[in-house]
Amino acid sequence: MSDKATPSIFGKENYKWMLVGLIVIAIGMILLAGGKSTDPNVFNKNSVYSFTRVTVAPLLILAGLVIEMFAIFRKPPKEA
């Protein structure tokens, strides 16, 4: 048994990109969840099917997933 630590698969930059991707996904989820109605008996079509909830939020979630894939597949730079 050796006292050497095993090298990490991911580098510091990978973790930074993963955090960015997670933040983008979280923003997309928050935008997707918005639009609470004050009266539960009234259906507000404009709030439910708004541009933000139907287009922007899913695009942010997909962008966050692409950033996560980039972070996972990115090779860490070789240390000299």
Whole-prediction pTM = 0.81
**What are the φ and ψ backbone dihedral angles of 47, each rounded to 5 degrees?**
-75, -40
Residue 76 confidence (pLDDT): 74
Mean pLDDT of 28-43: 83
Asked whether residue 22 is domain-assigned, the answer is yes
User: pLDDT digit string (tens) for 3-16?
Assistant: 677 777 888 999 99
Domain containing 62: what range?
12-35+45-73
CA torsion 28-30-33-35 (nearest 10°) is: -110
Per the prediction, the chain carries an average pLDDT of 87
CB neighbour class for 2 (10 Å; exposed up to 12, middle 13-18, buried from 19): exposed
Asked whether residue 78 is domain-assigned, the answer is no
Q: Please enumerate in sequence order all residues whose Cβ is within 8 A of that of 43, keeping only pairs 6 or more positions apart, or say none.
A: 37
User: pLDDT digit string (tens) for 15-30?
Assistant: 999 999 999 999 999 9
Give the number of domains in the chain: 1
